[in-house]
Structure 1
Amino acid sequence: MTSSSAAPKLPRLIFDPAEPAIYAFPPNRETLGGTAYLLTDPTGNILIDTPAWTEENQIFLRDQTVKWLLITHRGGIGKQLIKLQQTLQCQVLIQEQEAYLIPEVETTTFHHSHSLNEHTTAIWTPGHSPGSSCLYSHVHGGILFSGRHLLPDRQAQPLPLRTAKTFHWPRQLKAIAALQERFMPETLHHICPGASIGFLRGASTIDDAYNKLMQIDLAPLAETQALM
């Protein structure tokens, strides 16, 4: 006998062994299918973009000690940001060019980068939006939470996506070049994209991340037309 109601969609643990634990939330319709993450840390957990404010997510997050909520781009804000911030009593971190979009929320802003703890840093990666940013952590061999700056294509390869709403395509490509210069094989093992995770075909992250990042050929992308 089957239940008439669908099983609740819960945050999914994406690493095993799970120290530190990282959870991926189900796609959020309010952020156009965006995937939010929770990165646990003894100094205070970090929420990356806003998950759907469902009963299941509320129960899960109330059991966590969330210190930071990083907004990686304006599309990751979500309609329930105020409720989420007030409930969790967390600090909202956002690149300074996006902060004006949420005047009712007290924010911590940054320009080029901001250290959340000794091994986790927010990095300004403009282009998708003026204040688009990524979060990098040294854990698990190095993880880049890429927001919508880099998304998986149909072959699960990380790529920038130029759309009619892309703020500044040349700046986005320049920001990718800066990431290519920033990392080494030993410092970047995984990418956790902020959307399009269905293209990962059940995988939790884009693995072999450094090599796949370096395989992005920026020259032909500069001629790419915007997708409507």
Structure 2
Amino acid sequence: MCPLPQQPSQIAKPPRPVLDSIFAFPPNRDTLGGTSYLIVGNEGNILIDSPALDQTNQDFLRSHGGVRWLFLTHRGAIGKTSEIQQIFSSEVLIQEQEAYLLPGLTVTTFTQNFTLTATTQVIWTPGHSPGSSCLYYSKQGGVLFSGRHLVPNHQGEPVLQRTAKTFHWPRQIKSLQLLQARFTPETLQYICPGANTGFLRGKRFIENAYQGLVSAEVER
């Protein structure tokens, strides 16, 4: 009986640096290819959405000081939130309308805005899902972690993308308008999207973010 051919071993890729103190995790199958980010800071590290919970990612998080906060940009980014909270004793932050999806967990909820640290604030941007939210980081000239509210198109430009699972399209357009009014060229330099990061061709961020935000197209 001939031996079966050996399958090539799958080696998990480590997170990659994006900007100073910001790292991006490989797309996560548990969240339909979502990209998670880690902000390393003196007031405690912030993990944005759930990455795959393989040993490579666990070791990376431990080596950088663990996870103080796990912020979920939308209900589709929950992934292994329960396990992450258990392993790292993290505080979980989610918009109040989607907290019911985390039964049995200790969570912090917010309505419209929530200040995590002196340099980070969460902004409710409903539309993609009822509790869809973005995180703004004021360092590096301003970085917006947009979840699936804003994703890059094939040209790497930020767009609103309507899908079969979109919760409320008019609200999502209104949420875009809210962000357009909130920022300026001086306060927003980069967007780090939570999906479609392959269209960024390895950069992991959208540059000239304010201009991209004010001219963002609406894909229907």
Runs of 4+ in structure 1 off by over 4 angstroms are none
Cα deviations by residue, 1:141-181 (Å, 9 ceiling, x for unpaired)? 00000000000000100001101110000000000000000
CA distance in 2, matches of 1:127, 1:195: 16
What's the counterpart of residue 12 of structure 1? 16
Q: What's 1:45 paired with?
A: 45
Q: Mapping of 1:61-80 within 5 angstroms?
A: 61-63=61-63, 64-78=65-79, 80=80
List alignment gaps of at least 5 residues for structure 2: 1-7
Equivalent runs, 1:104-143 vs 2, <5 Å: 104-143=104-143
Q: CA deviation at 1:202?
A: 1.6
> Which residue does the alignment assign to 2:25?
25
TM-score, structure 2 normalization: 0.94
- Residue 179 of structure 2 is aligned to residue 179 of structure 1: yes
Give RMSD over aligned pairs: 1.4
**Shift of residue 6 of structure 1?**
4.3
SS state at 1:177 partner: helix
Task: Give the distance between the partners of 1:47 and 1:127, measured in 2 at CA.
Answer: 22
3-state secondary structure, aligned to 2:173: helix
8 Å CA contact 2:160–2:216 kept in 1: the answer is: no
Identity %: 56
Q: How many residues align?
A: 213
Match of 1:98, SS state, is helix
Q: How big is the shift at 1:5?
A: 3.0
Cα offset, 1:82, TM superposition: 1.1
Shift of 1:204: 2.2
Flag structure 1 segments of 5+ consecutive residues without an equivalent. none
TM-score for both structures, normalised by structure 1: 0.90
**1:6/1:101 CA distance change after superposition, 3 Å:** closer
Equivalent residue number for residue 97 of structure 1: 97
